[in-house]
Every structure is written in C-alpha cells, then in structure tokens.
Amino acid sequence: HVDGGRWMDIRFATGKLQKACNSAGTMRREWGPQMAKKLQQRLSELAAANTFDDLRKMPGRFHPLTADRTGPFALDLVHPNRLVFVPDHEPLPRLPDGVSLDWAKVTRVVIVGVGDYH
C-alpha cells in the first residue's frame, strides 16, 4: 500500500460482479484478455491505495464522473471502458465546506461496474 498505511476496502455491488472480478478466467471470458489484464492491474492499484488522494497519484486517470453520473468515480481500462466505483461511507466524509468530498478520508469503495458507460 502507499506510504505504509491501510489498504483500500473494496466491496462489489453484486455477487456476479465480485465473482467476475475475482477470477482471471472469468475476467478473460467476460471481457477478453486485454481488458482482463488491465482490470486486474487497476483492481490491484485500487487495493494498494490508502485513500482517494493516493489514486490521484497513480496511473489510470482516476476521475469523478460528471453530468448525469455525478457520484461515482472511474479508472480507465481499455478505451472506452472504465472501472466504476462509489465511496462506501455513510455519511460521506466532507471537507469543511460541507459539500465537497474529502478524498483523503475515503478508504472504502463499492465497485458498481466495468465497461463503457458513455
């Protein structure tokens, strides 16, 4: 993990998604070998992060979704596919403005999708 802290806690929105993401063979069957390799890499990077702040310093173009998809975040896979996840905190950690997400305090995520959401 980055700077010796704790690992990101990762859950999955569905059992099917969890099973697919935890098996290299299922990943290859579901998304093909190139996507499977990139997905394994991104899941490892996500797991190695301590917080969302760490993800900003890693490859994968970590970014919040915008417009009608505000809330989830994504990491690039094989274009145009993304690994999509949401913070798993209740309530969400906020900055002193009470609105902005405090990325340094997001330590748990739920994977909600793999694919092209465009």
Asked if residues 37 and 51 have their Cβ atoms less than 8 Å apart, the reply is: no
Asked if residues 106 and 89 have their Cβ atoms less than 8 Å apart, the reply is: yes
Rg (CA), the chain: 14
**Per-10-residue mean pLDDT for the chain, 118 residues long?**
68 96 94 96 94 91 78 93 95 92 94 88
How high is the pLDDT of residue 7?
A: 85
**Global pTM?**
0.89
How high is the pLDDT of residue 66?
A: 79
